[in-house]
Amino acid sequence: MLKKIVLIALPNVAPFEFGVVCEVFGVDRTDMGGPAFDFHIATAEPGPVTTSLGFDMVITEGLAAAADADLIAVPAHIIDDPVHPEVVRVLREAEARGAWILSVCSGAFTLAASGILDGRRATTHWMHAERLANDYPLTVVDPDVLFVEDRRVISSAGTAAGIDACLHLVRTELGAAAANVIARRMVIPPQRSGGQAQYIAAPVPVEVGDSFAAVTAWMVDNLGHELSVDQLARRALMSPRTFARRFRADLGTTPAAWLTRQRLLRAQVLLEEGGLALDRVAAEAGFGSAAVMRHHFAKVLGTTPAAYRRTFSLTPA
């Protein structure tokens, strides 16, 4: 279970990426039914820690806090800075005991320098992806994704992609409802993907044109109905071909893939919040049958609806 979070403050840390981890894991949202974490900020040498924008932060806790952390997060920082040997030790020990490790943007270079990314898939900001691949040839670098999860190590692309990576981890460990509460409070989409949860094909703009904002909202409100491209195109006042092309350009995925992802999210919430039969959950989410829903759960989430309910149900069995 994801309880204790340790964010490592490195010299010349990037304030925004640092703040992303603080916002997702450092805020108590139990008043809205969300999670509260045992959140710590630690550094190798307690005291003033410089930021990439020239101001200092005073961090009082040392890396001893990370000894029993469920997650260690490494935010972006200036790439050419050497990695403190104590940070390397903490990351290697965390990997050895099976803790989660997460990097945001150029934080992937600290993971790579510690050997954590050897033999793993990873990503970083597209501007630095080629350098990461060249400097660490044992790492399989994918520059075209928002984040990658590989054996409990998550690396994210630049800046706001760290939010997607953090929410993915919350969703994986605590369920869709917990991730949705955090996303709602942060006023962001709970999922910016049309594909697998751990492998997102392309960044998706948070804001889309008025036509697609209206159509996607209508799609979410009508997940239980048969929704064809022809029908959606008519609502957007476009031809089916134009609608499909522009939808993919604006949202980074096809209408069918986007719709499937929303149906999965709806099914996850229904499985968490109540005791509806699987056929009823499938119907309300728009999958039609429990068999079809099981297929998509296995393909995208790597589990079954029944197993997901056992893990994340908010009501007694």
Integer Cα distance of 269 and 180 in angstroms: 9
Q: Residues 147, 155: contact at Cβ < 8 Å?
A: yes
Other beta carbons within 10 angstroms of residue 265's beta carbon come to 20
Amino acid at position 192, single letter = R
Owner of token pair 């709970």: 190
Q: At what angle do helices 176-186 and 15-25 cross, to 10 degrees?
A: 130
Angle at 119 between CA 118 and CA 124, to 5 degrees: 65
pLDDT of residue 160: 83
Cite the beta strand spans of the chain per DSSP E: 4-8, 38-43, 47-50, 56-59, 61-62, 71-74, 100-103, 121-122, 140-141, 147-150, 153-156
Asked whether the beta carbons of 197 and 172 are under 8 A apart, the reply is: yes
State residue 260's pLDDT score: 92
**Domain covering 4-186: architecture:** 3-Layer(aba) Sandwich (3.40)
Give pLDDT, residue 133: 95
Beta-bridge partners for 225: none
Domain with CATH 3.40.50.880 in the chain: 4-186
Instruction: Please check whether residue 260 is in contact with residue 296, taking contact to mean a CB–CB distance below 8 angstroms.
Output: yes
In the chain, which segments carry CATH 1.10.10.60?
207-317
Give the integer Cα–Cα distance in Å for 66 and 101.
Answer: 11
- Secondary structure of residue 111 in the 3-state scheme: helix
What is the predicted pLDDT for the residue at 308? 85
State whether CATH 1.10.10.60 applies to domain 207-317.
yes
Q: Write out the chain's pLDDT in tens, 317 residues.
A: 899 999 999 999 999 999 999 999 999 999 988 999 999 999 999 999 999 999 999 999 999 999 999 999 999 999 999 999 999 999 999 999 999 999 999 999 999 999 999 999 999 998 899 999 999 999 999 987 889 999 999 999 988 889 999 999 999 999 888 988 898 888 776 655 432 233 333 333 334 445 577 888 899 889 999 999 999 999 989 999 999 998 888 877 899 999 998 999 899 889 988 789 999 999 999 999 999 999 999 988 888 999 888 877 765 54
Q: What is the pTM of this model?
A: 0.69
Return the pLDDT at 210. 52
State the pLDDT at residue 212: 78
Q: 154: number of CA atoms within 13 Å, CB side?
A: 27
